[in-house]
Each structure stands twice: as C-alpha cells, then as structure tokens.
Structure 1
Amino acid sequence: MDFFAQFIDILLHIDKHLVEIIKDYSTWTYLILFLIIFAETGFVVTPFLPGDSLLFAMGTLIAKGGTGLDIWVMFLLLCVAAIGGNSLNYKFGSYFGIAVFKEGNRILKLEYYYKSHDFFEKHGGKAIIFSRFLPILRTIAPFVAGVAKMPFGKFTYFNVIGGLAWIGSLLFAGYLLGQIPFIRDNFSLVIIFIGVVTFAPVIFAAVQSMFKAKEVIEEIEEDKTV
C-alpha cells in the first residue's frame, strides 16, 4: 500500500519530482529521462513507468524556463530512447517467446499477451504506432511483435514513426500548453485527465474481453447440456 501511495503521488505531482531531479542533477536529467523512457519501452517487466505524464510534465517545465534544458535536445534523445527501447524489446520477444507470460504472474500476465496479440493481429504494423499511446500495451506490443516473428525491417519502420509521434506529441503538447496559466495552476488535474484518456481504451478492451470470455463459457455450458 505504501508503494502504491508513493506511485500515485509521483504520478499526480510528477512536475514537482522533476523539478527536484533537475535541481539535483542539472543536465544529467537528460540521461535520467532517457533511461526511464528506454526502460518503459525496452523491458517487458516495466509497463508501470510514467511515460505519458513524464513527457507532458517535462515539456511544461522546459516551457517555464530556468531548467537549463533544451526542448529539441530532449526530443531527440527521448526519441532515440523510445525507438531503441522498442527494438530491444522486440529482440527479447523473438528470443524468449510466449513462455515468459504465465497465469497468475502479477507483471507478465498472460492476458496482457492475448490482448496485445489480438490488437496486433487486428491492426497489423499500425499496432506498433497505436500502442505507443496506450499504457501497458506500448510495453508489451514490441515484445509480442518479436514473438510473432514480424519482419524486423517492417517493425523498425512502424517503430520509428510511432516513437517520433509519441515523444513529439506529448513533449511538445506540454511545452505549448504549459505556457497557459490554467494548465500551470491545475497541473494535477491535467495529469489525471491524461491518465483517464490513455487508460480508457485499455480498460474498455479489458471489460470487453471479460464479456466475450463470459459468452464463450456460457456457450460451452449450453453445448454440454444439449
């Protein structure tokens, strides 16, 4: 519970935590954020890292000034982190396969694999782009692409487009909107809104899959009674 409370606090007040990081580490902040984005996209066991809110908050802080950080340098470095992370995740998927997803696993849940795989099958290569904007799925999708043996050249094409779109949209959205007084004064509400918008499709898909699973079970039970 303490960990969960701390995690929520970091999400809701990520701007304050970033201010502390910038104050303590100055230009090393580039490396810290690079590692966070790389880890979220590169390791299938770290889907909980705050990618969306982190990008938006960083853009907002740079817009305020006084950080000593450059928006374009940040953009380029984080794009490299996002693209490189996904590529590594793909390689892990092609090497380890589906065996790492297990029933009852709290992080690598088997249901995450099935949801990502269905999403991947439905949208093809575009899923690599779309998943960038969906928490959990953006961490699992490149791994699933590796498991499915998607051609690496094709994967890289969509990976680059998705990485540029994800980093650019959220980082520059924070940079532009962060200059608006209402956004600055109600930052926690903005972060909650971002969280709701990004998690809503994932929650909807989860609920939808539960109903489908229930329907399948009912059909099986009906067949048994016939």
Structure 2
Amino acid sequence: MDSLLSGELIAWLGTHTRWLGLAIFLIALTESLAVAGLVIPGVLLLFAATALAGGGDLSLFGALAWAFSGAVCGDLLSFSLGRWFHQDIRRLGIFARHPQWIDRGEGFFRRYGIYSIVLGRFIGPIRPIIPMIAGMFDMPIWRFLLVNILSALAWAPVYVLPGYVAGSAVRWPVPEFFWHQAAILGGGLALLGLVLLLLLRAQERWSSLAAAGLCLLAMLCLPLATPWLSVVYGSLGEWLASVDYPRLSALRLWLQPLTGEALLWLLYLPALGLLAVLRQGWQFLFLLIGAALCLALGLLPGSHATLLALELTLILNVIMLVNRHQSFWLRLSWGLYALPACALLITAWLVLPLPLPVILGSVFQLACAALLAIWLVERGGPLPALPRPWSVLLPAWPLVAGLLLLQGL
C-alpha cells in the first residue's frame, strides 16, 4: 500500500502536474483525517508532491494555500466525526482493535486542553486523533475553528517549504560544492537547535545561561566559518542581487518599511508603555535588559544587523513574558505565535538583499540576549506571566504593527 501511494501516485503526478494543487490539498486533508492519517504516509507524500510543485509551475503561495486548506478541512472532518459519535466511536472496528490510539489522544487532550490542537498538529502519532477527541469532548465549534486555522497557518509552511525548496533547487544553476556546503550549514544549524532544546528542556537554573553561552559562541564563530561556506553564501547573495523578477521587485518595495527604525519604535514604545501602565515592573525591566544586552552584543563580531536583532528580541521577549506559568512544551509552542511576525521581518531583510551570515548573526544575537535576560531576571525568583487579556493581545502587537506599516499607516 505504501509503495503504491508513494511510488505510482507520485509518478502519475509527475506527468499530470496540473493536478498538483488538488493532490496537495487531498494529501494534507488525509494527513489530518482521523484513521486515514494513521495509516497513510502523509508526510512522505506531501514532501514528494511539494517537490514536484517546486520544480513545476505551481507557485509557492498556491502550494501553501492548498496545504492550508486541506489541513483545515481534514481537522474539521475529524472534529465532526468525534462530535457526531462521541464515545460510541470506540466501537468502530479500527478503534476497537486499537483502543490505545484514543486513550493516548484523550490523555494528551486532558493534559494540554486547547493547546493540544496546536501541539498535536506537529506530533505524528496523535495528529489525526486530537481534533476527533476535541469533538468527543464537545469543544465549542468557534473555538476549535479559530485554533484550527491559526495552527494550520503555522503547519503549512513547516511541511510545504522543505519539499518546495528542494524541488525548486533542482533547477538552480549552482556551482560546485554548493550542496556540500549547504548540507554542512543546515546540519550545523539543526545540531545547534537540538542542543539548545536539550539544554532548555533540562529546566535547571543554569539552562538559560548555558544556552545563551552556546548562542554567543555560535555568533562569534560565524565569521570564522565564512571561508568554508563561501560558495553557498556567495551563490545565495549573487542570486538575490541579480534576480530581477517583477514579483520580487514588488516584494522588495512592499517590505521596505519593515527595515527602517519606524518599526523599532512602533514595537517598543507601546509595549513598554503598556507594561508601565499595568505596573508590571519586572516585565518592564526584562524588556529593557533584553534590549540593552542586544545592543551590547551588537558590538561583537558576527552580528551587523542590530536593528533586526532588536526587533526580533522584543518579539521573543514578549512571548517569554506571557507563558511563564506553562509547562516546558507549552512554553515552546508559544513560539508558533511569533512565527508569522519573525518570518515577515527576516524575509524583509533577506530581499534587500542582506547577506545570509548577517541574518544568522542577528538571530544568534537575539537568542543570546533574550536567554541572558531571562537568566539575570530569574536569578532572584520566577518571572510572573502577564495577566489576561494582555498575555494574548500583546504577542499579537508586532504582527499588527508590521501590517500597519506595510499599509502606510
């Protein structure tokens, strides 16, 4: 069955590319559908289909839109199934033979509540089960629909971009050693991310300091690694500088407001003003320390886009302020809240074009500043989370501020 789906189906799509959009929709729907998502290799199929799309005529926006729509519809169908059958769904043949599937999903839902819909979308074994469990527990439809849409907005790029970029890369005229160096860079970043995750997962008093030190080391080593990555850096820089597609030129013009100081002031002044009005002294101090550390780190080699780093530092620090009372994995999932704003900012600086090492240096700079700030503040005691509704509204402000600037307001 797997070989049929991942072999003959992909071969057929390779010769019938006009059906790629619909195929991505159906694969994403199946991947999120109860029962079907457990037995069909949806991730493999989606990677193959999006790779074909990247090498064909389907635009990236089109691939993202089809995948997003399929994921939303698949979760809605699973939710409706649970809402219709409730506990009687345990009597269905496949669930009667595998009751542990529902038991595992039910335990996850009881533990994380509404957050389980966001977390579950990225965890393979329970991804198609959680929406059905939400329906069985009679979650209000409007609440499920809102979380379903927001989580699908984060899920679609994560699952579509790797395949689409891989498919597009086949057509790139790259020099020798490009892919070798790209693999080294990607593997190094993945290893760094894994080590940071393990350090923070330990949840010791020294965890944030150790993670900050690792980010600082990565930032300082970045210029030293440039000669060994010159081909991949140079090729990407030349490609961004030479590409003169009308769409890219329009994108550069549209994103230009996000690369000025106006966004920096629009981010910091309302956030600091709100914390001052709410008399959240420790939170106010945390943002100031994070900004000061970011400025100080900007004097070191390996980071030359401090404006970008400051903007990203505020976004990350606000996210850290609103989730201090949550468990580790829930705190980590709050990062999904910041993904749209961070992606918009980094894209704006990339299309200037700004060299990739500078972007990476800014990311290491912001991570080091934020982790050092949280370690310094929490040495005297746990940092309390912001009260509701500000813990939900404040993290959305960076995206709102960016969109206001893009609209010329």
* Same fold (TM > 0.5): yes
Sort the Cα spacing of 1:10 and 1:48 in 2 relative to 1 into closer, same or farther, 3 A. Answer: same
Sequence identity, in percent?
Answer: 26
Which structure 2 segments of 5+ residues have no match? Answer: 170-177, 184-409
Deviation at 1:174, TM superposition (A): 2.7
| Counterpart check, 1:33 vs 2:24 | yes
* Count of aligned pairs between the two proteins: 176
RMSD: 3.3
Structure 1 partner of 2:99: 110
Q: Deviations over 1:45-73 (max 9, x none)?
A: 4422222223333343334x2x2222211
State the Cα deviation string for residues 152-202 of structure 1 (Å, max 9, x = none): 1111121112212222112113333563746xx9xxxxxxxxxxxxxxxxx
- 101, 104, 117: which one pairs with 2:90? 101
Q: 1:81 to 1:104 in 2, by over 3 A?
A: closer
Asked if 1:54 is matched to 2:54, the reply is no
2:20–2:53 contact (8 Å) kept in structure 1? no
Q: Deviations over 1:13-33 (max 9, x none)?
A: x4x656523333221122123
Please give the alpha-carbon distance, in whole angstroms, between the structure 2 residues aligned to 1:103 and 1:143: 13
The 3 A distance-change label for structure 1 pair 119 and 60 is same
2:137 equivalent in structure 1: 148
| Structure 1 residues 171 and 114: CA distance shift in structure 2, 3 A | same
Equivalent positions of 1:1-226 (< 5 A) are 3=1, 7=2, 9=3, 14=6, 19-63=10-54, 65=55, 67-102=56-91, 105=94, 109-176=98-165, 179=169, 181=179
- Aligned-partner residue type, residue 49 of structure 1: I
- The unaligned stretches of length 5 or more in structure 1 are 186-226
- TM-score, L = length of structure 2: 0.38
Contact 1:42–1:139 (Cα < 8 Å) also in 2: yes
Partners of 2:121 and 2:4 in 1: CA distance:
21
1:91 and 1:103, CA in 2 relative to 1: closer, same or farther beyond 3 A?
closer
Cα distance in 1 for partners of 2:40, 2:153 equals 19
Report the Cα distance in structure 2 between the residues aligned to 1:175 and 1:24, rounded to whole angstroms: 17
- Report SS of the residue matched to 1:47: helix
